Chains A and B, each alone.
Chain A
C-alpha cells in the first residue's frame, strides 16, 4: 500500500457518487484518472485490504434488525459451533473473544420478526443457549478508519 492507496481509502469511505460514471467523478476529485482508480480499488479488494467496495446498508431502516448475540462455547466444540453459526446468511459477522462468552455475532435481517427463529435454530442445532442483546439505544456508529 502506498500513499495514493491510503488517500483513496481515506477519501472514499463514503460519498461515492450515484451517477452514470461514478469512478470518473470520484477520480477527478482525487486528481487521478478513472483507470487508475478502478485498478487500485480492484487490487485493494483482491488483496483483502478492502472487504468490498459498495453500499453499506442499514437493516433497521428497511424494517429489519441488527442484533448482537453471544454464546459460551466449549473449546473442543468451537469449530463445529462456528461452522453452524457462520452458515446462516443472517450472520453478518462473528468474532471469537477472550471471555467466558467467547463467540459474539451479529444477526442482520430485513424483517425484525425474522431474528427469533434464527436464534432458536442456532440453539437447536448447537445444543447451546444464545444470549440475545438487541440494541436499545444507539449513541454512535462510525466505522471509518484511517489508513
Chain B
C-alpha cells in the first residue's frame, strides 16, 4: 500500500458513523450530519473535504443496487496465472471498462489455485460469459486454470460500518 495512514480523530470517526449509512436527503445535509456528530457545521464540511482529498472517502453520491438496475448477473472470474506475470496481466485486464474490480489475491494449497480476480456484471448470463471470454483472450497463453463463480443471491450488502 502507499504512504502513511492519515490520522483520524474522534470527530472524524463520528462524522464517518453519521454518514456511512447515507446522507440525509434534505437541503442542508451536512448541517444535519454535523448535529448528529456533535461538531460545528463549518468544521464538518472542512473535515469531510479533507477525507475526500485523502481518499478516505472514495466519492460521494448514488450507490446503485446492481439488481435493481437490471445487472442481475455477476461473475467473479478467477484465473491461475504465473506469479511473475500477474502484475502485468492484471494491468491488462484493468483496461477493460466493464471490469469493476480486479485484484491479485493469495492461492491456498489444495483449496484454491487462482491468484487473479476480475469481477464482471451483466443483464444476463450470456453478457457475463462474453466479457469473461474477452478477458480470456487478453490473458492468452498465460492462463493455466480458470473458473467463473456466478452470484446466486445477495445475502448482505451494507458497506463499511464502523463500530462503537
Contacts and interface: CB of A to CB of B under 8 A. Distances in A.
Interface string B1-13: 1000110100001
A98 B128 CA distance: 14
A51 B106 contact: no
Nearest to B29: A22
Contacts of B23: 53-55
Contacts of B54: 61
Interface of B is mostly: mixed
Q: Please tell me the size bucket of the interface on B.
A: 35 or more
5 contacts: A42-B25, A51-B65, A110-B162, A133-B108, A140-B94
Given A44-B62, A85-B156, A133-B106, 16 more contacts: A12-B62, A20-B30, A21-B28, A23-B25, A49-B69, A53-B23, A54-B19, A56-B159, A61-B56, A68-B103, A68-B105, A68-B117, A93-B158, A96-B151, A102-B152, A141-B101
Interface of B: 1, 5-6, 8, 13, 16, 19-23, 25-31, 41, 45, 48-49, 51-52, 54-66, 68-69, 71, 74, 76, 86-87, 90-91, 93-94, 97, 99-106, 108, 111-112, 117, 121, 147, 149-163
